[in-house]
């Protein structure tokens, strides 16, 4: 049982694993459980459809004649997949020479057993002083770290490579700028999720913002002098407008920042 979620039970013990003492925590991940059950039902549905197609084909008057071992091998190959061989019970009845009738049924007791066992997570650590809740949360936090590395390898946004630098000093600066860009993007992503209920990935957010374009309007004058330029956002989708408003940049072109006295736009 964890402090944050009292309904979540966890088994904890110390064992010698790979020659070292480890703290082992076993718990049920509801997210993993839901995914595993959903995947099992999807696979089961596909296999049922394939078996029904074979069942009808065997009953056809033009059905191919089989040797029993040949047909059994075909069915066994069709039933490949996690849990499928345990879940689908089948039999063949020879109705005439070389012709068979296929019968199959879903083992509901086994299906319920698999559902009850789904979502099992086993974590081991040498941080014996950590409580179970901290061990579980630290493990779950790995997904966020892996997601960050995935974004930094994305060839379209935020990628670290190619770097086109060879000296240590320039490589360090390059990596610093890339990490700074990722940090700023992650902050924008968080703002979009909390303020605009954005459910997409960081990559999707950057693609969406890339579609927001600023048009430059040049005023045609008959007198000499510098041409007057004004700026206006092009039409946006509802999602784009919602994100831009949440990030408080919908009127950013009207309050242009200046860096050392130099305007952002020409």
156-167 per-position pLDDT tens digit: 888 888 888 889
Residue 8 has pLDDT above 70, yes or no: no
Shared domain for 53 and 103, answered yes or no, is yes
Whether residue 127 is contained in a domain is answered as: no
Strand, coil or helix: 220: coil
Instruction: Give mean pLDDT, residues 199-225.
Output: 85
Whether residue 9 is contained in a domain is answered as: no
Work out the pLDDT band at 252, boundaries 50, 70, 90: confident
**Window from 228-232, 244-248, 259-263 with minimum mean pLDDT:** 259-263
List the Cα angle 165/171/174 in 5-degree steps: 95
Q: Which two tokens stand for residue 191?
A: 């703002």
Backbone angles phi, psi at 18, to 5 degrees: 55, 40
**Window from 9-23, 137-151, 157-171 with minimum mean pLDDT:** 137-151
Shared domain for 194 and 219, answered yes or no, is no
- Specify burial of residue 249 (Cβ count, 10 A radius: 0-12, 13-18, 19+): middle
Whether residue 28 is contained in a domain is answered as: no
What is the tens place of the pLDDT at every residue in 13-28? Answer: 999 999 999 999 999 8
Whether residue 131 is contained in a domain is answered as: no
Domain that holds residue 67: 33-115
Of 89, 115, 141, the residue that ends a domain is: 115
Instruction: Give mean pLDDT, residues 110-124.
Output: 90
Mark out the alpha helices in the chain (DSSP H runs). 30-59, 68-78, 84-87, 108-117, 132-140, 142-152, 168-196, 202-210, 238-246
Q: Which two tokens stand for residue 97?
A: 């020479």
Contact 90, 75 (CB under 8 A): yes
Of 180, 207, 234, the residue that ends a domain is: 207
Whether residue 22 is contained in a domain is answered as: no
Whether residue 79 is contained in a domain is answered as: yes
pLDDT (0 to 100) of residue 261: 62
Shared domain for 159 and 222, answered yes or no, is no
Shared domain for 49 and 109, answered yes or no, is yes
State percent of the chain over pLDDT 90. Answer: 42
Shared domain for 37 and 110, answered yes or no, is yes
Whether residue 17 is contained in a domain is answered as: no
Shared domain for 57 and 90, answered yes or no, is yes
Shared domain for 198 and 239, answered yes or no, is no
Of 95, 115, 135, the residue that ends a domain is: 115
Shared domain for 48 and 99, answered yes or no, is yes
Whether residue 125 is contained in a domain is answered as: no
How many domains is the chain partitioned into structurally?
3
């Amino acid at each position: 049982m964890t402090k944050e979620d009292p309904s979540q039970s966890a088994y904890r013990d110390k064992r010698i694993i790979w020659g070292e003492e480890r703290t082992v925590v076993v718990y049920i991940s509801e997210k993993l459980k839901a995914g595993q059950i959903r995947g099992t039902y999807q696979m089961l549905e596909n296999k049922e459809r394939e078996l029904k197609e074979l069942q009808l084909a065997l009953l056809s008057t033009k059905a191919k004649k089989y040797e029993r071992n040949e047909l059994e091998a075909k069915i066994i190959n069709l039933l490949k997949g996690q849990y499928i061989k345990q879940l689908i019970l089948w039999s063949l009845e020879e109705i005439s020479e070389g012709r068979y009738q296929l019968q199959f049924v879903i083992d509901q007791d086994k299906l319920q057993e698999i559902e009850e066992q789904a979502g099992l997570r086993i974590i081991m650590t040498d941080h014996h002083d950590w409580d179970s809740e901290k061990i579980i949360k630290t493990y779950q936090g790995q997904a966020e770290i892996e997601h960050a590395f995935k974004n930094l390898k994305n060839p379209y946004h935020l990628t670290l490579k190619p770097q086109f630098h060879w000296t240590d000093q320039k490589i360090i600066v390059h990596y610093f700028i890339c990490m700074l860009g990722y940090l700023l993007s992650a902050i924008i992503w968080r703002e979009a999720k909390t303020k605009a209920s954005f459910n997409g990935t960081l990559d999707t957010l950057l693609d969406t913002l890339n579609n927001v374009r600023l048009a430059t309007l040049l005023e045609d004058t008959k007198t000499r002098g510098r041409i007057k330029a004004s700026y206006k956002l092009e039409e946006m989708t509802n999602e784009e407008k919602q994100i831009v408003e949440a990030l408080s940049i919908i009127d950013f072109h009207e309050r242009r920042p200046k860096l050392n006295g130099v305007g952002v736009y020409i």
